[in-house]
Structure 1
């Protein structure tokens, strides 16, 4: 395990779920954290917790990754001590709806495409040139099993995560010959706010997704993200497909 103490880590979608768990994991590793999300109050609460537990150095960005001018302005205006991002965790993402394509809500499509694909691209485009110029850096994209295999009614969400997988591969190829690494961590079922967001706040429907099985936790995914980031410089964990033991594919789960 390579020490990453005092490296600057930018995490998008840091206010909850996998993003918040990654913030905690990197805080424990004594990195400096740039935490970005739309919900400032949730970020402030998380920062307070991390400060109390780890005395972390934290810079908060209230940021909607879908807004390109906002992304560019926020990242270009980071103070000097925070601007040299060493590790980027592209975590911001969501799913909306579970409908047949020909019955889908176009607004749901727009939100998924703008967040999962375009938002990831905007942040990556703003951060990676600095990594190349400094000769160090690591981009870790949070993908999904949905990027490996499409499941019924997953159509557009699966399409966005397939795009994340392709973008990760393309970026890796473009960075060949530089020291900058690219990893994709692709989880299966993780019990976070994901399903509540997908079902527009329907908690009862969201709970049924995880009934009768033991899903991954956000902390499980964060452990893998941290593991990727702490490998020696010559080692790149290119792609990690992470599933709960009770799952063997997008639609293959064991329920008790």
Structure 2
């Protein structure tokens, strides 16, 4: 992690779970971290909980990644205040307990697509433009994908609805971005990390009874994987990393 000392990482969905753990881990390893999330109070709590020598390197900013202008404004702030982003961790994502064939679910379907897919697209574009403007050629974009982006696990009594298609799109988007980075002549890396079930708030709001008793990863496990991927040598790119808890049946 030596080459990332005092360089800037932007983490989306930073108010809890994987995003919060990524912020804590990257700050502890010497990076300057900007956490983006809708719940600004949670970001303040995260900063307050950091050790005194690390807290000054963490910045929280309210941003709903599904709203393009908020993403543009947030990265403009990063550029003006901190000099720009070198690493982007696309972590923000949502799931809703709906069925695609039910009535009255249009708003939830759009929210999933706007957050899980378009939010990643807006953030990656703005991060890349920040790097390009500063002639940064060794940046890294990480996308927190899902095993649901490579298959559709059958969970009795539950539908992965638009969540699974949004993650399948992320799998394709990762490859499209790799090709675009290559065509631009940059050495900036792109990595998709696909965890199995992770014990986070994403399920607390929709289906705690469905995941009861399931083997689960911790948020820290995924944060460790992020660090592993971004510290690879310049000639090594981990394009896809799949992580499952022992005993997962999917």
TM-score, normalised on structure 2? 0.90
User: Would you say 1:191 and 2:193 are equivalent positions?
Assistant: no
CA contact (8 A) 2:38 2:62 kept: yes
Deviation per residue, 1:40-79 (Å, 9 max, x gap) = 1000010111243634412221101111112112211335
Whole-angstrom CA distance in 2 between matches of 1:38 and 1:81: 20
The residue correspondences of 1:166-177 to structure 2 (distance < 5 A) are 166-176=172-182, 177=185
Q: Which residue of 2 aligns with 1:164?
A: 170
Q: Which residue of 1 aligns with 2:143?
A: 141
Whole-angstrom CA distance in 2 between matches of 1:41 and 1:53: 21
**Residue 66 of structure 2 aligns to a residue in which SS?**
coil
User: Would you say 1:155 and 2:161 are equivalent positions?
Assistant: yes
CA contact (8 A) 2:138 2:234 kept: no
**Residue 114 of structure 1 aligns to a residue in which SS?**
helix
Whole-angstrom CA distance in 1 between matches of 2:221 and 2:247: 15
Deviation per residue, 1:61-116 (Å, 9 max, x gap) = 110111111211221133545232111000011111142x2126222111100100
**Residue 141 of structure 2 aligns to a residue in which SS?**
strand
TM-score, normalised on structure 1? 0.88
CA contact (8 A) 2:199 2:216 kept: yes
Q: Which runs of 5+ in 2 are unaligned?
A: none
Whole-angstrom CA distance in 2 between matches of 1:81 and 1:135: 21
Cα offset, 1:156, TM superposition: 1.1
Q: Which residue of 1 aligns with 2:101?
A: 102
Q: 1:75/1:157 Cα in 2 relative to 1: closer, same or farther (>3 Å)?
A: same
Runs of 4+ in 1 over 6 A off after TM superposition: none
- Which shows bigger deviation, 118-127 or 45-54? 45-54
Cα offset, 1:225, TM superposition: 0.6
Q: Which residue of 1 aligns with 2:69?
A: 69
CA contact (8 A) 2:79 2:130 kept: no
Whole-angstrom CA distance in 1 between matches of 2:59 and 2:226: 20
Number of residue pairs the alignment of both structures matches: 241
Cα offset, 1:2, TM superposition: 5.0
**Residue 232 of structure 2 aligns to a residue in which SS?**
coil
CA contact (8 A) 1:189 1:244 kept: yes
- Which shows bigger deviation, 87-96 or 239-248? 239-248
Q: Which runs of 5+ in 1 are unaligned?
A: 200-204, 250-256
Cα offset, 1:3, TM superposition: 4.4
Compute the RMSD of aligned alpha carbons.
Answer: 1.7
